[in-house]
Every structure is written in structure tokens, then in C-alpha cells.
Amino acid sequence: MDSHIGEACGVFGVYAPGQPVANLVYLGLYALQHRGQESAGIAASDGQTITVVKDMGLVTQVFDERRLAPLDGHLAIGHVRYSTTGSSNWGNAQPVYRSVGDAGFALGHNGNLTNTERLASDLGMLPGFAAPVSDADSTSDSDLVAELIAREYRATLRSDGRDLENALERVLPSLEGAFSFVMMDEAHLVGVRDRHGFRPLVLGRLDDGWVVASETAALDIIGAHFVREVEPGEMVVVDANGVRSHRFAEATPKLCLFEFVYFARPDSELYGQRVHLARQRMGEELARQAPVAADMVMPVPESGVPAAQGFARASGIPYGDGLVKNRYVGRTFIQPTQRERGLGVRMKLNPLPENIKGKRLVVVDDSIVRGTTTRQVVAMLREAGAAEVHFRVSSPPYRWPCFFGMDTGRRSELLAADLSVGEIRDYINADSLAYLELERLTAATGAAPSAFCTACLSGEYPVEVPRSDGKHVLEVVDLTGPLSQL
């Protein structure tokens, strides 16, 4: 993955009386760490009180035995965050908590709303709102959702013990865009997925409980069995009586295609397909579409590995390693300036000259976004003595910004927005460059092409999107300029 593309967040929840639920959530978040590295948090309920612990940093930096100890109870939820709407600060860390009813409720959100501006305006929270009873000043759409739910919660208190469900049934139809929620009050675990299912959410079973998680790999780490995906437009509720389902919107599935390309762990399943195998098929399709005479196929580690394996298998060209990745260096997209991102590439990747010198290389990666990483990778390979560098990308050119949970910046910052493939080839200084065609990419997933959102590749958004910069919409309102300038 080329530099500066923020990943969707990760959510996890467990209902398991008698089990160390906070420890289970910790493990689940650890398995989902690839989806967000800015902050981590866990909320737990003992039936009377909800306790929330969250902070900036990785799961292992935020939690240890001391910080897990107070999180006692029979159900818990957790969240790892990469900021989409809202800045990266403690006030926007999740789970979000609201003190309503007997114990309140907590919420974790994966995705990004597209009608945040209108909802915030209706609540009088624009610009830069500080919601009542919130943890701190917040600028996240997740905090906005929590405030909407809290308002309905107070207005619809009943004696059936399902106040959170009742509030959600009123709020969910008003939300637009991408949202996979895990939520809890003192007695219920709730999972919600928007009607398009932009972001994944799955239901799992423990011997003595239930789990809701962003990916199936997070179920595996705690020994839970995959039951099914939470359907688009569905709310599932877990309590002492088991699992029940509510349909709040008609399903029109549009899973983000980049979940298959990059976001999801390779050992997860989406649409019943193992992601690793789908990525290998992408490489095979790329070899058939754009063959080239070469001596070695190599990946940009680690995101390009499965596609490079597939390319080598289909082409008959030997697979090899040309770059070593330092696993302990942070991802380059979190560096704040272009210069620091460039230095991050040098820190993260180092060439193996003896595998490279004098060889014609096919270099495979899953995408090119800004071009920072790709250009430096090609330069490093040439400095190490590569005779030729042929770059192959297992997805189409990334030309349009995402409004559904990825942070890619404005369209003007995307390399392929205004450059042809030939111009990009010249920019990265490759001998040749080819991107996988969209039709071949969707075929490699094993799912129907109509089941995906391809907006970042095609410019065809399945829902109306805002004309302002969605990431900071609750801080600065800017409705000027055409969509093409985003």
C-alpha cells in the first residue's frame, strides 16, 4: 500500500457471563490493530456500571493488567481508531460514552457518515461541538451519533428494558453513509451495520457467549466460531435471552472493495471468500493482463505479497524477496509531512542487493495513492543494481476520495486523479507500469461486481456524498468548490 491512506477502524464486542470479557476484547482488538493505530479503548459492564478505559496509542501501549483489572463484568466492547471524521486526539478516542438511564451506554464506530453536517446542524452542534455529558470536546461523527441516541433514549424511556434498542430504531434510519457499530448498555450487546454494508461486521459464537467483530480473524484469536455476517441494514442484540435481529433498512450491499484489496487481514473471510486467496487471484489476473519478460517477481512487503505470489504462479517467473520490511516502524501514512513520509519509507524498507543486482524485476503492490512510497521503492531498487523495474498494481488507479471510512485526502492529492498511467510510470521512474482492470479485480474476489462500492476507483458513489472535506466537517464548514476539487 502506497503512502497516506488511513484505514477503517476496528470494532469488537463480547457477551460472555463468567468469562474475563475485557481480556477477550483486548485479544480481539489486538487482532484488529491493522485497522487503526491512533487510539484504543474498552468499555465493560458488570450489570450495574459501565467502565470505560481508552487512550492514544496501540492496544499494547494502552492496556496492561493494571488497566484491564477495573474492566470487570459479563459484556464488553472495544475499538481501535484511525481518524476519518474528526481530528486525532483523546477526545475522539472510542468507545464513546453517554450517561443516560441507569448505567448509560457506550459506542464504537467503524465507518464515516455522509450527512454529518446536517445532523450536527439539527442538534445545534456546528461548528466544533462539545456535546453535553461527553468525555471531552469532540469533533467525531461517532460522538454525534451517541448524542442523537442519547436524546432519543431520554425521550423514549420505557419499562421493557430495551431503551437502547428503542432509541436506535428511531435514530438509525436518519443516518447516511458507512457505519458498523458495536454498542452496549448494562445488559445488552448490540451490533449494527448500515444498509449498504460498506464496512464488514460479523457475528461469532463462543461456547458460553457471543461475539461481534469487524473481521473473522478477530473471532479466531479468542476461539469463537463464525456464525454469519451481520446483514446490511440489520441490528443484532445479544442479552441473557440469546440473539435477536431487527431490520431497520432494506439491504443494498456495497462492501468497500478495498477491504479485499488491502484493509482486511489476509486470514479473514469476506463474502465467504478467504481474503488471501482472493489477493493471489488478483495477482494471477494481473499476470494474464500485463505480462512482461523478467527474472524475478517480488512484492512490496507486506501488502503486495499475496498478489506477487499469484503473479509468479501464473507467469512462471520465479518469486523472490527484494525488500526487507522493518516490522517495528510505523506505517508511513501517519507521518504528518511529505518529507517525514519519505524518510519513513527508508526506515521501513531496505533492499537485498544480492537478490536484485542485474535482474529484471516485476514489483507487485496492491495500490498507488500518493506515489511517495512507490517512487522511493523504485529508486532503491535501481540503486541496488536492478537492470529493469516493471511495476504491477493489483487494483485500478486510485482516482477519487473516499467518504465511507478511508482517509485519503482531497482528490488533488491523489496521484492518479490527473495523471495518465504513462505519466505515473514516468513519475515513479519504472520501465513499465500496469494496473489491474476493475472487472478482473472484482472477478478475483469471487463475489458479484454489484456487491461492491468502487467509488475510489470509478468515481461512482452509491450514495450522495458531501462537497466539503468530510474529515473535519465538524470543525470547519466549507461548502464551496466543486466535487472535483476535493
Nearest to 91 by CA among 41, 125, 35, 43: 41
Nearest to 92 by CA among 76, 80, 75: 80
The residue written with cell numbers 471468500 in the block is: 273
**Region for 124 from its dihedrals, namely left if φ exceeds 0, alpha if ψ lies in -120 to 50, beta otherwise:** left
**Which burial class, exposed, middle or buried, applies to 241 when counting CB atoms under 10 A from its CB (0-12, 13-18, 19+)?**
exposed
Nearest to 176 by CA among 118, 130, 127, 215: 118
Q: What size, in residues, is the chain?
A: 486
Q: Which three cell numbers stand for residue 391?
A: 511495476
Report how far apart, in Å, the C-alpha atoms of 2 and of each of 37, 302, 372, 377, 454 are: 17, 11, 7, 10, 18
Reduced to 3 states (helix: H, G, I; strand: E, B; else coil), residue 213 is strand
* Angle CA 167–402–203, to nearest 5: 45
Q: Which three cell numbers stand for residue 484?
A: 472535483
Alpha carbon distance 82, 413 (integer Å): 19
Alpha carbon distance 303, 266 (integer Å): 9
Alpha carbon distance 409, 414 (integer Å): 8
Beta partners for 206?
209
Taking the CA atoms of residue 402, residue 406, residue 409 and residue 411 in that order, the dihedral angle to the nearest 10 degrees is -20
Taking the CA atoms of residue 237, residue 240, residue 241 and residue 247 in that order, the dihedral angle to the nearest 10 degrees is 0
Annotated catalytic residue, options 9, 256, 402, 453: 9
Q: Is 9 a catalytic residue?
A: yes
Catalytic residue list: 9
